[in-house]
Amino acid sequence: MKLGFLTACLPDVPLPEIAAWAQDHGYEALEVAAFPRRHDRPHMATHLDATSFDERAADKMRHLFDSHGLSLSSVAYYDNNLHPDAQVRKANHEHLRACIDAAAAVECPTVGTFIGRDPSVSVVENLRQAEQIFPELVEYAGERGVRLIVENCPMEGWHVDGYPGNLAYSPELWEWMFDLGLYLNYDPSHLIWLGIDPVAALRPYVERVVHAQAKDAEVFPQRRNHYSVFGQVIDREDPWASAWWRYRVPGLGDVDWRRVVDVLNEGGFTACLSVEHEDPVWGGNDRQRTETGLIIAQQTLRPLIPA
């Protein structure tokens, strides 16, 4: 098992600087953000530009990672593959294919994505649509030696009422997507606030986990008693703010990392545990605080994952 982190937490820092910092601070791998450059989403990171990733870019990236003794654990492009707008959905699929091509060019084993959801139709109808869409994408990836991995994030902010916007949030849905040839990018933080035991949920499915993300979650039970599990309704200005829980870096939330890592090891997991830093206390636009959050995560996880 290797310890890495997702570069999306440092969107304005060039990848060579991130790689040098990672090497200096005890990380062994990077999960590289590859969101398309869009004026309406300037906060999204593009550390790998899949739209122009040619052989020269591939050689440059291989040299960068080799020179810092790092592995490229996954290409990260998490978007809505069931977007209700047909043109946006098509563009998302095209960019996902470009990310697969880029991953193949540098022999990166996985590309991360979401199932997504069209909130205008039922969950069952969304599942039927996904069953038509994903086999072709899985085949495209497989022909290039790449596995598609899906993170179990509910993406509640994509839904107008804060309900799940990514249909991969529970073990029931994991089993469904495994039948489509997809793999799980396991993230225990989401299970914490959903009321699912992260360890019990992981144990039966370790063989389908080929990449994992290390993010924590802090729950405030008193607030949940007031707002319910669905979160604040009145005056909820931020669709991503439930008002009763928040993401934290590993070690500052409620995930039992000792048990999670132990189950991964027992199940034969040898890929990357990648810190996904979305901690509002140690994040935001402050690079120094963000890097401090990554140091806290590294100090929490490193004793569990010998270098």
Which CATH number does the domain housing residue 190 bear? 3.20.20.150
Q: Residue 151: exposed, middle, or buried by beta-carbon count in 10 A (0-12, 13-18, 19+)?
A: buried
Residue 82 lies in domain: 2-304
Per-residue confidence (pLDDT) for residue 40, from 0 to 100: 60
Per-residue confidence (pLDDT) for residue 245, from 0 to 100: 97
Per-residue confidence (pLDDT) for residue 37, from 0 to 100: 86
Side chain identity at 190, as an amino acid letter? Answer: H
Per-residue confidence (pLDDT) for residue 41, from 0 to 100: 66
- Pick from 186, 248, 249, 201: which is nearest to 220 by CA? 248
Per-residue confidence (pLDDT) for residue 38, from 0 to 100: 73
Which residues in the chain land under pLDDT 50? Answer: none
Per-residue confidence (pLDDT) for residue 42, from 0 to 100: 61
Q: What is the mean pLDDT of the chain?
A: 96
Domains of the chain: total: 1
Give me Rg for the CA atoms of the chain. 18
The residues with which 6 forms a beta bridge, in sequence order, are: 31
Per-residue confidence (pLDDT) for residue 285, from 0 to 100: 86
- Give backbone dihedrals phi and psi of 43, rounded to 5 degrees, phi first: -80, -10
Q: Which long-range contacts (CB under 8 A, 24 or more apart) does 219-227 make?
A: 219/192, 219/193, 219/244, 219/245, 219/253, 219/254, 220/244, 220/245
